[in-house]
């Protein structure tokens, strides 16, 4: 998956509007994208320390 420059920052801005924690499906809908794009993006954000994946599979912004 190739993202446009700044897509990660935009995603964080959008995810900040969601109730925390949020599901990958919530993120997919808010970002208006597919699961194929949303899941790797959430993995990237977690790896970079901007989000945290919780044991129940939900995510939250740090």
Give pLDDT, residue 3: 82
Is residue 51 in some structural domain? yes
Is residue 2 in some structural domain? no
Range of the domain at 20: 7-61
**If DSSP states are collapsed to H, E and C, what string results for 3-62?**
CCCCHHHHHHHHHCCCCCCECHHHHHHHHCCCHHHHHHHHHHHHHCCCEEECCCCCEEEC
Is residue 16 in some structural domain? yes
Q: Give tens-digit pLDDT for 6-61.
A: 999 999 999 999 999 999 999 999 999 999 999 999 999 999 999 999 999 999 99
Domain count, the chain: 1
CATH code for the domain of 25: 1.10.10.10
| More confident position, 2 or 45 | 45
């Amino acid at each position: 998956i190739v993202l446009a420059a700044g897509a990660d920052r935009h995603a964080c801005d959008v995810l900040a509007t969601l109730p925390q924690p949020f599901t990958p499906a919530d993120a997919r809908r808010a970002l208006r994208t597919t699961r194929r794009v949303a899941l790797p993006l959430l993995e990237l954000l977690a790896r970079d320390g901007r989000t945290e994946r919780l044991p129940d599979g939900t995510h939250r912004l740090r």
